[in-house]
Amino acid sequence: MFNNVRPAQSTDLAVLESLYTERQTIVTQADPRLRPLPSASQWFERNTGLVWVGGQPVGGYLSLWVKTWPGGILPLDTALIDQMTLDAHAYHPGLGRALFEAAWAWAQEHEATALLALVPRYDPVGQAFWRSLGAHPTQDYATFKLSAYQVFQVKR
């Protein structure tokens, strides 16, 4: 288990941008509808979520939001993982699970009782990861008409 999973800091921005750019390049090759999301630098402006990094040097990240659901899109007690990636050029055994566990613990401290993850439909590795945690695709949230993504619900 990784003991160096921590919230991202501004000094991590260069590696976050690199990992983010590589992830977006890969997923948009599989599905061009996956347009680039806000740049990694904007993640530091949020006050209702956190980006976690892990590895030494940083080998991956997970982006988590809690209680930001305008108009009742999701219940207030739901945390949403909108991005997660690991460096594709190195092996980081256990890092994905460590990032998830740290983020979920933080979300629970912020009163989240449910967790959803947005996973690109054409990302078999990402979907396999979430299934390995016991997550299941869900259609419960009809507002997620994001045809390029599958919503996974993690039961804990």
CB 96 within 8 A of CB 138: no
Phi/psi for 85 (5° steps) reads -155, 155
Higher pLDDT, 1 or 19: 19
**What is the CATH architecture assignment of 6-154?**
3-Layer(aba) Sandwich (3.40)
Tell me how far apart the terminal alpha carbons of the chain are, to the nearest angstrom: 19
**What sign has the CA pseudo-torsion 103, 105, 110, 113?**
positive
pTM for this prediction: 0.84
Q: Domain residue spans in the chain? A: 6-154
Q: Could you read off the pLDDT of 42-92 as tens digits, one per residue?
A: 665 665 677 777 878 889 999 888 876 666 677 778 898 988 989 988 888
Distance CA(86)–CA(57), nearest Å, equals 12
